[in-house]
Structure 1
Amino acid sequence: MKMLSPCVLRALERFNAAYPWDHNAHYHRWILRQLPRRFNNALDVGSGSGDLARLLAGRASAVKAVDSDPVITAQAQELTPAALPVAFTVADAVAEFPAGSYDVITCVATIHHLPFAQTLTCFRRHLEPGGTLVVVGLSRAQTSVDHLLGGAAIAANVVMGWLKNRGRPSPRPVSMTAPTRSADMTFDDIVREAGDVLPGARIRRRLFWRYTLVWNHP
């Protein structure tokens, strides 16, 4: 979003504060469509408040959810019914990667905080043959296509915020979220490095300043 002027950026931030909605959760249903109807073990890296982990638990026998933030992990645990097969853990996603292998690995808006190629290599190592990896990430705008999508996302963001809040400003404060930082890698960088680690990965630019990566382990 660096192509936005400070004035436009401040206006967008004020709008999002009044009409909040989760850009990452917008992709959760899309993620589920990339996955089998049932699977055994799933891992959600950068699980935040646990929304995606709880959705995965509707299809998985067991879900491990990992986040480096102890506060938001505790919040996720409180929000999760005890009957769901989800285990939340505070850990570094690379240095303390959960042992074992998984049929599904998901990672939403987290990989830009981590060493990219090393993290993908770790995912590949722990993904079962036939398993599916789904990443929703952020990239740094560089090309004209990036900037055009960014401009389209501004209008779409306003529409989505308005619709999800039914045209009324939110009476509640925005819920706690983990710290974020801007992405350093461009989309072209991501495609190149991912191709080296995960041959055949399907990578697409998306709205709301995101890209998606889907890889099926041979």
Structure 2
Amino acid sequence: MTTLLPRILRTLEQFHATRPWDHNAHYHRWILRRLPKRFDKALDVGSGSGDLARLLAPRARVVHGIDADPAIVDRARELTDPAASVTFTVGDALKEVPPGPYGVITCVATIHHMPFHDALTCFRRNLAPGATLIVVGVYRPQARSDFLIDAVAIPANVVMAWVKNKGRKVSRPASMTAPTRPATMTFSDIVRDAHQALPGARLRRRLFWRYALVWHRYQ
């Protein structure tokens, strides 16, 4: 058993290296289903290669994406139709947010790169009355329920990799080339701090090592 487990893990790593799929992009459609059909301005924090910003564009008058990585912002601009009402900025989302307020703010797999409470406070400050904030983030597993979800996610991850890539070996998409950082906050810490910054926020663990936060600013 002690030699079998490392072998299984190496096999999984090799499988996913040749059949990668973007866990963050997997939640884009889920995000869209929780947003209004039309809104004025949207901000995508940690916009990466711009996939979510481009999906938001048909519903918004204008979409701003901001990311700290100049290379991935350049790639987002290359992939975006110049006629689309989408702009991308290189910068610190807590200091250089393009002028709001916004009807929608999204933040996918980025908030763990920032001071969590400060980020939520910044997002709240830039939301218009009636606006929606959606965060999809990562957390450090600690509780038994965390590890149970992780255990379910492992075989599901293999199935999704096979289905999304139609069984073929593929190269990594542009959306998966941005720098990453492991999460340091547990889910319970995230829930506690989120409810302090955003009373009434709804949080839930999601499959594939993610959690979701949804908050509506009513006034």
Q: Into which bin does the TM-score normalised by the smaller protein fall?
A: over 0.9
Check 1:173–1:199 CA distance in 2 against 1; reply closer, same or farther (3 A cut): closer
Corresponding position of 1:193: 193
**Cα offsets for 1:41-67 (capped at 9, x unmatched):** 000000000000000001100000000
Look up the SS of the partner of 2:169 in the other structure: coil
Structure 1 residue ranges (4+ consecutive) displaced by more than 4 angstroms after TM superposition: 5-9
- Provide the residue aligned with 1:23 in structure 2: 23
Q: Where do residues 205-216 of structure 1 align in structure 2 (5 Å cutoff)?
A: 205-216=205-216
- Per-residue CA deviation, residues 152-171 of structure 1 (Å, 9 max, x unaligned), is 1111100000001111222x
What pairs with 1:90-109 in structure 2 (closer than 5 Å)?
90-109=90-109
Provide the C-alpha distance between the structure 2 equivalents of 1:68 and 1:50, rounded to a whole number of angstroms: 13
Match of residue 122 from structure 2: 122
Partner of 2:184: 184
Which whole-Å CA distance do the structure 2 matches of 1:10 and 1:21 have between them? 18
Please state whether the residue corresponding to 2:104 is helix, strand or coil. Answer: strand
Fraction of identical pairs, as percent: 64
Alignment of 1:37 onto 2:31: no
Equivalent positions of 1:1-218 (< 5 A) are: 8-170=8-170, 172-175=171-174, 177-218=177-218
Equivalents in 2 of 1:41, 1:11: separation in Å? 45
Structure 2 Cα separation of the partners of residues 150 and 210 of structure 1: 10
**Aligned partners of 1:8 and 1:46: how far apart in 2?**
33
| Separation in 1, partners of 2:15, 2:84 | 35
Task: For residue 97 of structure 1, report the CA deviation from its aligned partner.
Answer: 2.4
Partner secondary structure for residue 117 of structure 2: helix
In structure 1, what residue type is equivalent to 2:99? Answer: A
SS at match of 1:57: helix
TM norm structure 2: 0.94
| 3-state DSSP of counterpart to 1:73 | helix
Instruction: Please tell me the root mean square deviation across aligned C-alpha atoms, in Å.
Output: 1.3
* Structure 2, unaligned runs of 5 or more: none
Contact 2:20 2:172 survives alignment (8 Å): no
Question: What is the identity, as a one-letter code, of the residue corresponding to 1:21?
Answer: W
CA distance in 2, matches of 1:67, 1:149: 30
| TM-score (ref. length: structure 1) | 0.94
- Asked if the contact 2:41/2:100 (under 8 Å) is kept, the reply is no
Gaps of 5+ in 1: none
**How many equivalent pairs are there?**
213
Counterpart residue type for residue 69 of structure 1:
D
- Structure-1 separation of matches of 2:135 and 2:189: 15
